[in-house]
A and B are shown apart, each in its own frame.
Chain A
Amino acid sequence: MTQSIPVNVTVNGKAYKREVEPRLLLSDFLRHELGLTGTHVGCEHGVCGACTILLDGESVRSCLMFAVQADGHALTTVEGLATPLSSPHREGDGGKEGGMHALQESFWETHGLQCGYCTPGILMSMIPFLEKNPRPTELEIRTALSGNLCRCTGYQHIVDAVLDAALKLAAPD
Chain B
Amino acid sequence: MKPAPFEYRAPDSQEQALAFLQEFGGDSKLLAGGQSLVPAMNFRVVQPSALIDLNRVRDLDYIRADGQSTLRVGAMTRERQLEFDPLISSWSPLLAETMPHVAHPQIRNRGTLGGSLANADPAAELPVIMLALQARLKVRSASSERWLAAQDFFTGMFSTALAPDEMLVEIELPAIPAHTGWCFMEVAPRAGDYAMMGVAVLVSLDDRGNCGQARLVYLNAGDGPVEAARAAALLVGQALTEQAIEAAAEMAGATEITPYGNIHASPDYQRHLARVLTRRALYIAGGRASGEPR
Interface set of A (CB-CB < 8 Å, partner B): 2-3, 5, 21-23, 25, 28, 44-46, 49, 52, 55, 58-61, 63-66, 68-69, 125, 129, 142-144, 146-147
Choice from B4, B39, B109 contacting A58 with Cβ under 8 Å: B109
The CA-CA distance from A161 to B263 in the complex, in Å, is 33
Q: Is the CB of A68 within 8 A of B8?
A: yes
Interface centre among A28, A58, A142 (most CB of B within 10 A): A58
- The interface residues of chain A lying within 8 Å CB-to-CB of B239 are none
Q: Is the CB of A21 within 8 A of B191?
A: no
Q: Is the CB of B1 within 8 A of A69?
A: no
Q: Is the CB of B107 within 8 A of A22?
A: no
How many residues in B have their beta carbons less than 8 Å from beta carbons of A? 30
A to B CB contacts below 8 Å, 22 in the list: A2-B5, A3-B7, A23-B3, A25-B3, A25-B42, A44-B2, A44-B39, A45-B42, A52-B106, A59-B106, A61-B106, A61-B110, A63-B38, A63-B42, A64-B35, A64-B38, A65-B110, A66-B8, A69-B10, A143-B191, A147-B105, A147-B192
Given A21-B5, A59-B109, A61-B35, 15 more pairs with CB closer than 8 A: A2-B5, A5-B8, A22-B6, A44-B1, A46-B35, A46-B38, A60-B106, A63-B42, A64-B34, A65-B34, A66-B53, A68-B10, A125-B105, A147-B103, A147-B105
Q: Is the CB of B2 within 8 A of A25?
A: yes
B275 close to chain A: CB less than 8 A: no
Measured between C-beta atoms, what is the minimum distance from A58 to chain B in Å?
4
Q: Is the CB of A65 within 8 A of B6?
A: no
The CA-CA distance from A64 to B1 in the complex, in Å, is 12
- Chain B interface secondary structure, helix, strand, loop or mixed? loop
Q: Which 7 pairs from chain A and chain B are nearest by CB?
A: A147-B104, A22-B8, A45-B39, A146-B191, A146-B192, A64-B38, A58-B109
